[in-house]
Amino acid sequence: MAAAIGALTLRATRAGLYDRLTSGVEGVDATTYPVLSGLDRIGPATATRLAEAIGMDRTVTTRYATRLQEAGLIARRPDPSDARATRLALTADGERAVLALRDAMQSFLAEEMATWPPGEAATFALHLERLTEALAYPDTSRTS
Amino acid sequence: MAAAIGALTLRATRAGLYDRLTSGVEGVDATTYPVLSGLDRIGPATATRLAEAIGMDRTVTTRYATRLQEAGLIARRPDPSDARATRLALTADGERAVLALRDAMQSFLAEEMATWPPGEAATFALHLERLTEALAYPDTSRTS
DNA sequence: TATTGTTATACTCTATAACTATA
DNA sequence: TATAGTTATAGAGTATAACAATA
C-alpha cells in the first residue's frame, strides 16, 4: 500500500493523469487545473480565499488565474464591497471546461470501478477522503 | 472522490507527506526518496533499469543517485558483466534509512487505519493498487 | 551503430520578497 | 499599520540534447 501511495504521488503518474484529463480542454493543464476546479467548487471568490481553499500560494494562484483569464476561462471583476479585492469567477467557457474535465475524470473512474462489487466504491471513496485529509491536515486530531 | 484524488496529488499535500516522512533521515528528501526506495525494492541495479522501475528519467535518476551517494546512502560499483554499466546498491546506512522511512510511513498508516473495520484496510489497499496501476499504465487492458 | 552513464542547456514551477492601492 | 492583488527575483526541478566510453 505504501508502494501504491508512492506510485500515485510520483511525478510521472500524476503528469500522465492530468495530461490525459486536460488534453481535450484548451487553456488548462496540470498546473492550472486546481485553480479552475477549485473556483468551481467554492464559487466566485477572491484570489486569497481561493488560494486557501486549494492549498496554494496566493502568488501562484493569481498567476495561474491570469493564464486562465487569457484563455477566456475565468473573469476578474472588482469586488463591490472592497475596492482592494478582485472577484474571480468562471466564464461560460470556463464552466464548459470544468464539465468536460469532470466528465473525463468520472468516465475514467467509472471504467475502473466497473468490476468492483457494489458498495465497495463508496467505502473506498470514503476511506480515500479521510486518508487524504489526514495527509493534508496532519495536526487535526481525528478522535471521532 | 475526484476531489480526494485531486487533493492527494496536490503539490502541497505531497510535499507535506514526504517532508514529514523524510524529515528524520539525513540526505533524503521528496525528490531522492523514489530513487532510494526503488533501489531497495528491486535490489542492486543499473541506473537505466532503476529509472524504468520508478518511472523517472535516466538523467534525473543518475543525478539524484549522485546526491544519495554523497550522503553515503548508496554506492556505485562497476558492473562485472558490462564495462559500460554501473551498479547502484544501498550501503548499510542506506538500508537503515529505508527502514526508518518505511517505519515512518507504516506508523502513519497504522494510526490512520486503526479505527477501520478489520478487512477493510486490505480491500482498500488492493483497490488503491489497482487504481494506481490503471493511472500509471493506461494502455494495459484490465480484462481480468 | 546502439547503449550506458553522465553532463550541459534551456525551460518550467515554486517561494520570497517587494511594490501599489485600499482598508 | 494591515490587507489584497500583483509583479520581480532567485532557486529548485525537469526535460532535451549532447558527450565519452563501451558493446
pLDDT, tens digit (0-9, with 9 covering 90-100), for B119-141: 888 889 999 988 888 887 776 54
Long-range contacts of B93-101 (CB under 8 A, 24+ apart): B94/B36, B94/B39, B94/B40, B94/B68, B95/B40, B97/B25, B97/B26, B97/B27, B97/B28, B97/B36, B97/B73, B98/B36, B98/B37, B98/B40, B100/B24, B100/B25, B101/B21, B101/B22, B101/B25, B101/B28, B101/B33, B101/B36, B101/B37
Alpha carbon distance A138, B3 (integer Å):
18
Range with the poorest average pLDDT among A12-26, A75-89, B54-68, B94-108: A12-26
Provide, in whole angstroms, the distance separating residue B23's CA from nucleotide C11's C1'.
30
User: Can you list the pairs that B111-119 forms with residues at least 24 positions away whose Cβ atoms lie under 8 Å?
Assistant: B112/A130, B112/A131, B112/A134, B112/A142, B115/A142, B115/A144, B116/A127
Angle between the B33-42 and B58-70 helix axes, to the nearest 10 degrees? 90
Residue ranges of the domains in chain B? 2-136
Give the per-residue pLDDT at A29.
93
pLDDT tens digits, residue range A41-95? 999 999 999 999 998 999 999 999 999 999 999 999 999 999 999 999 999 999 9
Query: Which position has the grid cell 473495520?
Result: B117
Q: Which residue of B has its CA nearest to A57?
A: B12
Strand order in the sheet with B74-78: B45-46, B86-90, B74-78
Nearest beta carbon to residue B138 from set A16, A41, A54: A16
Half-sphere exposure of A48 (CA within 13 A, CB side): 4
Closest residue of chain B to A1, computed from CA coordinates: B125
Distance B142 CA to D17 C1' (A): 36
Instruction: Point out the residue among B2, B41, B112 whose CB comes nearest to the CB of A105.
Output: B2
| Main-chain dihedrals φ then ψ at residue B32, nearest 5 degrees | -85, -15
* Residue B47 confidence class, pLDDT cut points 50, 70, 90: very high
Residues β-bridged to residue B86: B78
Question: From the CA of B54, how many Å to the C1' of D4?
Answer: 43
Contact between chains at A129 and B1 (C-beta distance less than 8 A): yes
CB A13 to CB B136 under 8 A? yes
> Could you tell me the fold of the domain covering B2-136?
Arc Repressor Mutant, subunit A (1.10.10)
Q: What pLDDT was estimated at residue B117?
A: 87
pLDDT band at A140 (very low <50, low <70, confident <90, very high): low
Residue A120 pLDDT grade (very low, low, confident, very high; cuts 50, 70, 90):
confident
Instruction: Give residue B57's pLDDT.
Output: 93
What are the phi and psi torsion angles at B84 (to 5°)? -80, -30
